[in-house]
């Protein structure tokens, strides 16, 4: 009898210890989430973006804000024209040559210090062959259609001889969408039977004042899973970092089951959804053709710098992506680049490919953040060095390429 009571006492003590540990773990998880949310609320005031009826959203001129994440802590400053970088007039100073960089967050570089952005690093490289300014016109969340419209209305005023557009694979998706990645309305184009662009959402509908947006940011708070914030954090960590473990834990009810269907942004890498993917490429090609025509008419050269998703230059990340979405053998990691290469060849647009130096870097020193999808300072520098030879050739600097890279 005594032995039975001792066993029950030990069991009760063990269960009580587990309950206390679980309670402490849950309390710690909720405290951590609360601290992160307060940190976001602190650095999100005032907003750095505003509603723009032509572009959907744009930076607030002269705005300044701290962006603090687990992997970086950056102070953003925007000049009198709402661009990241020093104040510069539209007309270049006498004897100064210019490059204009268009793109999304990879161009804006909100995740690194200003001097570590692609534009700033490229400017330093090109200044070795004479006075040079690189204008950073990157805006977080933009797609190719918004970048084209920015160039028409504002970008061409900078008098640049080289227009360098950073192209990321999700541009394909959002070039056909009336809303951006953050959920705000944006301009977009359709292509008529003659192949001409037809603008839609003109003017862009203003954002709903009752919802958070780029102009009215709010702190993101994760939703507990089964009432537990600790389980939510575990779910968020394993879903992409260890898909097999996540599958096991989801069967045990410890993490949230996730859809195995590949998201829309990944469709261009796969064999399905042919009609939707063809329409994405059709509109993207038309936008690039229109942008090239306007840049050429302005006496400048348009070039594209390809921005690979990390899985395109890191085999381990590609394998995790395949496991996460159960991608079959017909999914090809190089499919987007190769299709873009064909488009650029047809349109006579130089295409800069930084994949190999990024791949080499990923084997030793990471070029991307681990949890954030963007390049770190190393990745930005690699991209800038990849663009340097073509830029030197265009500006007639020693060491430039003998012919544009296609």
Where is mean pLDDT largest: 221-225, 360-364, 400-404? Answer: 360-364
* 158-178 residue pLDDT tens: 999 999 999 999 999 999 999
Return mean pLDDT, the chain: 87
On whether residue 328 sits in a domain, the answer given is yes
15 within domain boundaries = no
What pLDDT score was predicted for residue 68? 87
Q: CB count, 10 Å around CB of 31?
A: 11
Identify the band that residue 406 occupies on the pLDDT scale cut at 50, 70 and 90: very low
Count up the domains in the chain and report the number. Answer: 1
Residue 269's Cα: distance from chain center in Å? 17
Q: Is 207 part of a structural domain of the chain?
A: yes
Does residue 279 lie within any of the structural domains? yes
Query: Are the C-beta atoms of residues 37 and 30 closer than 8 Å to each other?
Result: no
Instruction: Quote the pLDDT of residue 402.
Output: 47
pLDDT tens digits, 242-263: 666 656 666 656 656 666 689 9
Query: Out of 184-193, 207-216, 357-366, which region has the weakest mean confidence (pLDDT)?
Result: 207-216
pLDDT of residue 171: 98
Label residue 190 left, alpha or beta by phi (over 0 means left) and psi (-120 to 50 means alpha).
Answer: beta
- Can you give the pLDDT at residue 258? 65
For residue 406, is it within any domain? no
Q: Read off the pLDDT of each residue in 99-123 and give the average, rounded to a whole number.
A: 98
Q: What is the pLDDT of residues 49-105, one digit of tens each?
A: 999 999 999 999 999 998 888 899 999 999 999 999 999 999 999 999 999 999 999
Query: According to the model, what pLDDT value does residue 7 have?
Result: 65
Which contacts (CB < 8 Å, 24+ apart) does range 273-279 have?
276/176, 277/172, 279/176
Least confident of 28-32, 152-156, 366-370: 28-32
Q: Write down the pLDDT at residue 405.
A: 41
State how far the Cα of 66 lies from the Cα of 48, in Å rounded to an integer: 10
Q: Give the range among 7-21, 53-67, 117-131, 304-318 with minimum mean pLDDT.
A: 7-21
Distance CA 81, CA 87 (A): 8
Question: Using CA atoms, how far apart are residues 60 and 81, in angstroms rounded to an integer?
Answer: 8
* Spatial CB neighbours of 379, under 8 Å, sequence gap ≥ 6: 358, 361, 367, 368
Distance, first Cα to last Cα, the chain: 85
Containing structural domain, residue 320: 44-395
**Count of H-run helices and E-run strands, the chain:** 12, 11
Name the least confident of 38-52, 122-136, 274-288.
Answer: 38-52
Give the residue ranges of DSSP H helices in 109-214. 118-126, 144-153, 171-174
Lookup result for tokens 């750095």: 48
On whether residue 261 sits in a domain, the answer given is yes
Is 25 among the domain residues?
no
* CATH code of residue 374: 3.40.50.1110
The answer to the question of residue 176 being in a domain is yes
User: Closest Cα to residue 229, out of 33, 71, 88, 82?
Assistant: 33
pTM of the model: 0.85
Rounded to the nearest 10 degrees, the angle between the axes of helix 229-241 and helix 2-43 is 70
Tokens read off for 313: 């230059």
């Amino acid at each position: 009898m005594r032995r039975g009571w001792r066993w029950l006492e030990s069991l009760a003590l063990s269960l009580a210890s587990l309950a206390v540990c679980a309670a402490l773990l849950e309390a710690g998880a909720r405290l951590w989430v609360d601290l992160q949310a307060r940190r976001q609320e602190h650095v999100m005031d005032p907003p750095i973006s505003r509603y723009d009826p032509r572009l959907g959203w744009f930076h607030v001129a002269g705005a300044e804000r701290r962006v603090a994440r687990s992997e970086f802590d950056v102070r953003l400053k925007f000049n009198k024209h709402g661009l990241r970088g020093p104040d510069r007039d539209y007309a270049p100073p006498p004897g100064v040559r210019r490059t204009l960089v268009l793109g999304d967050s990879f161009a804006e570089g909100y995740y690194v210090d200003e001097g570590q952005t692609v534009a700033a690093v490229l400017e330093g490289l090109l200044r070795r062959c004479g006075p040079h300014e690189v204008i950073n016109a990157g805006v977080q969340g933009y797609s190719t259609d918004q970048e084209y419209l920015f160039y028409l209305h504002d970008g061409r005023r900078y008098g640049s001889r080289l227009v360098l557009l950073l192209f990321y694979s999700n541009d394909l998706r959002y070039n056909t969408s009336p809303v951006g990645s953050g959920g705000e309305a944006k301009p977009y184009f359709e292509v008529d039977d003659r192949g001409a662009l037809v603008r839609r959402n003109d003017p862009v509908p203003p954002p709903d004042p009752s919802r958070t947006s780029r102009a009215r940011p709010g702190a993101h708070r994760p939703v507990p899973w089964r009432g537990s914030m600790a389980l939510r954090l575990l779910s968020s960590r394993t879903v992409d970092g260890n898909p097999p473990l996540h599958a096991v834990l989801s069967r045990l009810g410890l993490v949230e089951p996730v859809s195995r269907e590949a998201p829309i942004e990944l469709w261009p890498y796969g064999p399905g959804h042919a009609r939707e993917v063809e329409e994405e490429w059709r509109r993207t090609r038309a936008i690039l053709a229109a942008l090239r025509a306007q840049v050429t008419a302005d006496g400048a050269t348009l070039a594209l710098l390809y921005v690979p998703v990390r899985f395109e230059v890191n085999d381990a990340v590609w394998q995790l992506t395949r496991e996460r979405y159960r991608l079959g053998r017909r999914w090809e990691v190089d499919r987007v680049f190769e299709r873009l290469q064909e488009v650029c060849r047809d349109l006579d647009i130089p295409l800069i490919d930084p994949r190999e130096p990024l791949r080499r870097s990923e084997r030793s020193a990471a070029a991307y953040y681990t949890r954030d999808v963007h390049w770190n300072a190393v990745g930005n520098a690699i991209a800038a060095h990849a663009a340097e030879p073509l830029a030197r050739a265009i500006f007639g600097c020693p060491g430039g390429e003998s012919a544009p890279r296609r």
